[in-house]
Structure 1
Amino acid sequence: MRMQVGRVAATVAVIGAVVSGCGGPNQAGTAVIVGADAVPIEHIQSQLDTALGKKDLMAQLTAQGGTTGELARSIVTRAVLHDLLDRRAAEEGIVVTDPQIDAHIAQNGGADALLDGSLYDLPMLRQRVRDDLIAAQLAQREVGGLAVTADLVAATSRASADEAAAAIQAGGAQADALFADPRTSARAQTFDAASSPDNASTVLFGVPVGTVVTFQPNPQQSTWIVARVVDRRTDAPSDPAAVNGISQAQLIAIGERLLQPTADQVGIRVNPRYGVWDPIQLRIVAEDQQVGSVLPPVAGW
């Protein structure tokens, strides 16, 4: 994730990119529950077995530091996103047809080539293409007028970021003091999706006004960002050329970020064997790999 933070100090001038375990008799054998929809472990295991059967690709993944646990979490993440995309498509009347899926696959080298380069079988490949096309359409409907304004503070540790977030959420003199130094803070920074589409896939575009978020843009660095969203518009002016220049991959990422309110509304419960749902990364991660936090708006926002 990358986002310009304007007047914030050079070291933070660019920033990159509640879940409970499933338990109880009605949830046994479940990998994740999205709202009332349960995804069985056997469904995840079947996809994992397909991936593990692709020995050459798995060898490459392992050589790059990938693990079976990470792969399983990625599969569960895709199941969550698929469910959320289905919900939004139904709500907004988005329909992706088999001919559209066929055309997309053909335009990208054909099914055989795509299967050779992926860990999917054909049904899951087609589902992924469908999901991506839905996400892109969701983004196309909003990206032209989408803009977020936030107050930003830089921190040098998770502890100081959490402390700053609590102060900003509470408001008052302690919060105001965090914005006294323009080298490490900036108020009313506006990011619009059309001119900075990579920003639009970040957590700032997925939370309501008044929310305070903390996140570490790059785990290899010590910098943390604390931000309060102070405005969100869907009717902001934009450059048509910039909108037309947004890539398909960027549209998909933005569309997936637009699922965050739905995820928050319906709730996501993850079997602890797979990890936890991280709203910052919009994926399932190991419990110690969460990269931030989300504090809801307080009264007055």
Structure 2
Amino acid sequence: MRIMSRPRALVAAVAACLLLAGCGSGPSQVRAAFLLGDTEVSQDTVQQLIDKAVREQPAAQQLSQQHKLDQLGREIVGQLAQHELLVKAARQEGLVADEATVSGLLGEDPLVTPVSANGVDPSQLARQIAYRARDHREVFTDYGLMQALGRKHFGGLSVTYDYTVVTSDDGGAQPQSMRDKAFAKAERMAASPAAADQVLREDAAAGVQTGSGQQISAVQSPAAASTVLFGVPQGTVVAFQPSQQDTTWLVAVVRQRDSGVPSTAQQSAEPTEDQLVSTGLRLLQPYSEQLRINPRYGVWDPVAMAVAPSAAESTGFVAPVKGSAQS
């Protein structure tokens, strides 16, 4: 039997250490629920919150009985990831949450009351349970910081993009096949700058709704500012459903994105607090490039700014156009 040379043996040992045990002092994907640069949040932290929720929340106990605690774990990981992204953004932007707002929310503390499994939209149940399991001051501080981040950039946030669509009228397509078609179209557009233009020309010639040089600002459409269009750099292709009430998919390439130039467009209405929070959440997207989710929980979905069970269950597509300058 041939004995491995010492250099090769050393390399193999180091590789095994890194892959299996997370040797050394750096963060390890093995023990982590997720990594964000040098920040590690452990699986133990997530499990402790799941256990707390099951002890204290009847709705979590129901999820446990239904063998659906994976939904709660995924939601907790997503919320903790958002928190760490927010910490990073707030530090860079020099933001602090308004203490009066945080104290006021703590004084009322709607999270003290257990969530009712019968009184909440099932799609929101895990989210509400996770809020209650976490430190309530941290939850309310995150809310205040997202609001501050959204308010800081709201007046200067705008994007210019070219787009095409995939609609329900397109051959009577079913939702999943529409998603597949939108992703396929987005992948073609991301192949090169010329490919993106070609797809748009083909669709326009076929009578599909398309547009070039479309510009929209947060001031014009506060609701739109929370979408993935506003979270990516120029030269990026995205595909997503602008509204869950509409089956249409928008496939777009962002040509320009501004976040510091005051808009001259007429403001449609003052943004609500929740719209500012949603805008702030979207502005965390550039900070998520270093985010790595442990596959045990799923994958990071940049369109939803949350954790999806798998890439096949993500809510949209995001990719740079190959060969295109990004900024």
The answer, yes or no, to whether TM exceeds 0.5 is: yes
Which of 45, 49, 52 aligns to 2:51? It is: 49
Q: Deviations over 1:36-73 (max 9, x none)?
A: 2110111111111122223434368799x993211111
> How far apart, CA to CA, are the structure 1 residues paired with 2:213 and 2:20?
46
TM-score where L is the length of structure 1: 0.79
State the match for 2:42 in structure 1. 40
> How far apart, CA to CA, are the structure 2 residues paired with 1:66 and 1:148?
43
**RMSD of aligned residue pairs (Cα, Å):** 2.9
Q: Which amino acid aligns with 1:293?
A: F
Of residues 141-150 and 77-86 in structure 1, the stretch that sits farther from structure 2 once superposed is 141-150
Is residue 277 of structure 1 aligned with residue 300 of structure 2?
yes
Deviation at 1:182, TM superposition (A): 5.3
> How far apart, CA to CA, are the structure 2 residues paired with 1:135 and 1:284?
18
Q: Which amino acid aligns with 1:197?
A: P
> How far apart, CA to CA, are the structure 2 residues paired with 1:165 and 1:183?
15
Of residues 78-87 and 178-187 in structure 1, the stretch that sits farther from structure 2 once superposed is 178-187
2:186 and 2:237 in contact (8 A); partners too: yes
Pair 1:149–1:43, CA change in 2 (3 A): same
Of residues 66-75 and 223-232 in structure 1, the stretch that sits farther from structure 2 once superposed is 66-75
Deviation at 1:123, TM superposition (A): 6.1
2:193 and 2:324 in contact (8 A); partners too: no
Q: Which amino acid aligns with 2:223?
A: D
Larger radius of gyration: 2
Which of 188, 197, 220 aligns to 1:167? It is: 188
Pair 1:122–1:39, CA change in 2 (3 A): closer
Q: Provide the secondary structure at the position in 2 that maps to 1:145.
A: coil
Which of 191, 199, 206 aligns to 2:231? It is: 206
State the match for 1:135 in structure 2. 146
1:197 and 1:246 in contact (8 A); partners too: yes
Q: Provide the secondary structure at the position in 2 that maps to 1:178.
A: helix
> How far apart, CA to CA, are the structure 1 residues paired with 2:247 and 2:90?
39
1:145 and 1:237 in contact (8 A); partners too: no
1:51 and 1:58 in contact (8 A); partners too: yes
> How far apart, CA to CA, are the structure 1 residues paired with 2:302 and 2:244?
16
1:50 and 1:121 in contact (8 A); partners too: no
2:161 and 2:214 in contact (8 A); partners too: yes
> How far apart, CA to CA, are the structure 2 residues paired with 1:190 and 1:66?
46
State the match for 2:7 in structure 1. none
Deviation at 1:94, TM superposition (A): 1.0
Deviation at 1:180, TM superposition (A): 2.9
1:152 and 1:186 in contact (8 A); partners too: yes
- What percent of counterpart residues are identical? 31
State the match for 2:280 in structure 1. 255
Q: Size of the alignment, in residue pairs?
A: 271
State the match for 2:179 in structure 1. 158
Q: Provide the secondary structure at the position in 2 that maps to 1:179.
A: helix
Deviation at 1:291, TM superposition (A): 2.1
Deviation at 1:177, TM superposition (A): 1.9
Which of 231, 253, 266 aligns to 1:228? It is: 253
Q: Which amino acid aligns with 1:54?
A: E
Of residues 216-225 and 278-287 in structure 1, the stretch that sits farther from structure 2 once superposed is 216-225
Pair 1:189–1:129, CA change in 2 (3 A): same
Q: Which amino acid aligns with 1:255?
A: G
> How far apart, CA to CA, are the structure 1 residues paired with 2:72 and 2:231?
25
